Chains A and B, each alone.
Chain A
């Protein structure tokens, strides 16, 4: 059999499949919607595991932190002192004329955590807007003056096949505005809250 015969035979056998379904585009749309939901669900589940895993050591460290450590926003005394607190080892009374001053760092003022759409808008309006980021089901997370979220970005793998890539973005509340911050630098410096660090730096 020569190559022409083989070619004819292949064409004839290929025709056995018939025509595509007339509602192929509708079927594609249904599958696309289903895939989107599945991806969102899987991503949310994976993120939930990361959040829980990150929360356990953070919670443990807060519980075991001694009084001599850096002050945190946890207040144990229900009645605020009318006079400045005096160390128990110091017998000298504080000057009565001075008003009590809180020197310990207080937790950042509660502010509304921006949603993902807001954070994406901030990013796209910045000087170097990243290309082709799009939102997903991930809810943005905030801790103090820091906010964090994950966007999706379509990439192409080494095998040439497309896939959705997760891109972490970090923001800081500066002068009354949420501003994109350098995630890589913050991750290296480690000067962001543990819970944010765990998510944006440790969880990829």
Chain B
């Protein structure tokens, strides 16, 4: 059994937190396969230093940081092939936010990697500006400006919900 090769605490950490981390990875990548790849890479990097992570309570934040920085470096090194789908996933009942399912994800794809990471950490993970700056290894001012611009851009893409998003995506596709 391979799992016994890992530290028990690490195995427990993976079991407990991998669903949440996979969701963050998915928001960063928009692709299930790439999100799993990113998550595994981040967890492997963490496993090598697990014995020296003194504060296990901070392990999640550590993996989160590795996840984001790894994704940023991947984006620098390779151009991810992005495919915009015409058919969005079925919208569940409600649309409580006024946004169709999948639209927010699609709008996130329009943001540069760094700005996208800031928005995900701030709006999805609920990190403070300082925590986001620490996770990304950048200044507080940078986080503030990236978050402000990122949110403004997302609002422009998502509001009004349907037509604006479609138009914005089409426009940005043409600009690429």
Contacts and interface: CB of A to CB of B under 8 A. Distances in A.
Interface residues of A, number: 36
Contacts of B154: 6
Interface residues of B, number: 53
Interface string B83-96: 00000010010001
A128 B45 CA distance: 28
Nearest to B125: A10
A25 B6 CA distance: 8
B104 A10 contact: yes
A6 B3 contact: no
B151 A6 contact: yes
Contact of B98 (A1, A10, A14, A161): A1
A13 to B, nearest CB: 4
B146 interface: no
Q: Which of A1, A6, A13, A18 has the most CB of B within 10 A?
A: A13
Contact of B158 (A1, A4, A27): A1
A17 to B, nearest CB: 4
Nearest to A16: B89
Interface string B25-53: 11100001001100110011101110000
A161 B40 contact: no
A16 B101 contact: yes
B72 to A, nearest CB: 9
A28 B40 contact: yes
B2 interface: yes
A204 B92 CA distance: 59
B43 A28 contact: yes
Contact of A20 (B39, B98, B151): B39
Chain A interface helix/strand/loop/mixed: helix
B19 interface: yes
A26 B18 contact: no
A167 interface: no
B166 interface: no
Contact of B99 (A9, A18, A19, A27): A9
B69 A28 contact: no
B130 to A, nearest CB: 16
A154 B137 CA distance: 20
B39 to A, nearest CB: 7
Contact of A16 (B43, B44, B102): B102
Given A9-B158, A17-B22, A24 B14 contact: yes
A11 B19 CA distance: 13
Contacts of A10: 27, 104-105, 108, 120, 123-124
Given A14-B23, A14-B24, A20-B19, A29 B3 contact: yes
B97 A31 contact: no
Contacts of B103: 9, 13
Given A5-B97, A17-B26, A26 B48 contact: no
A35 interface: yes
10 cross-chain pairs, A with B, having the tightest CB-CB distances, nearest first? A29-B2, A17-B26, A9-B104, A14-B23, A5-B97, A13-B105, A8-B97, A25-B3, A9-B99, A1-B159
Interface of A: 1, 3-21, 24-32, 35, 154, 156, 159-162
18 contacts: A1-B98, A1-B159, A3-B123, A5-B98, A6-B158, A12-B92, A14-B26, A15-B23, A17-B26, A19-B22, A20-B36, A25-B2, A26-B3, A28-B44, A28-B47, A160-B65, A160-B137, A162-B49
